[in-house]
Amino acid sequence: MSVTEMFNYIQGFLSADQDVREDIRKVVQTLEQTAREILTVLQSVHQPSGFKEIPSKCAKARELFCTVRTQICNLKTKFPAEQYYRFHEHWRFVLQRLVFLAAFVVYLENETLVIREEVAKILGIEVVREKGFHLDVEDYLAGVLIMASELSRLAVNSVTAGDYTRPLRISNFINELDSGFRLLNLKNDPLRKRYDGLKYDVKKIEEVVYDLSIRGLAKEGETVGDK
């Protein structure tokens, strides 16, 4: 093969690669749009009247996840399954956002932490790497940490809405989450930076609970909750 032929071959390879990446980007853009729509639906729970609408908002979000599953199915067709990590950078951010949204929906529904397998089911993807398009552990953890920030905001807005028991429950949940992350030896720099943010979320929620406590509202909230 001559030098010219070799470089023509390389150019053909690069052009094919760029075509694949462009097809992936187009599908990822649709995923990002759907993620924004789900976030818009869920943001209303932060409004004073939003807590009463949590069941309906979660149901609407789950309907939109049907669109997500369709879009991910389309994404799977754009590249060979064994080259997942070659193109992972294109959908990593939106996938983490979708994990956050799925985790937030599950928390709003039953105040528990969604497991990785359930998130994968909601998104219509695999857990096991060998099966193709899957939910990477680090993407799952990143999404959970984004949810923690959203819960710290929810704790503040709960007080504004007159719900004094919710911040206490959020505080217990976030503290358990923090304890869980402390068991991990995080070597992924972006993930570790996100985890550092969890410490501020814990502190912010503790301040909310402390403020309720010194105002006597925490005990009042517990009494109302018991009733």
pLDDT at 219: 59
Res 223: pLDDT: 40
pLDDT value of residue 225: 43
Q: Which residues contact 46 (CB under 8 A, 6 or more apart)?
A: 153, 154, 157
d(CA 27, CA 65): 15
Residue 207 annotated as part of some ligand binding site:
no
CA distance 45 to 34: 18
What are the residues whose beta carbons fall under 8 Å from the beta carbon of 209, sequence distance 6 or more?
A: 155, 167, 168, 171, 218
**Spans in the chain with pLDDT lower than 70:** 218-227
pLDDT tens digits, residue range 151-210? 999 999 999 888 999 999 999 999 999 999 999 988 778 888 889 899 999 999 999 999
- Give the span between the Cα atoms of 8 and 216, in whole angstroms: 76
In 3D space, the residue among 212, 133, 117 whose CA is nearest the CA of residue 165 turns out to be 212
How crowded is residue 203: how many other Cβ atoms within 10 Å of its Cβ?
Answer: 10
pTM assigned to the model = 0.90
Helix (H, G, I), strand (E, B) or coil at 148: helix
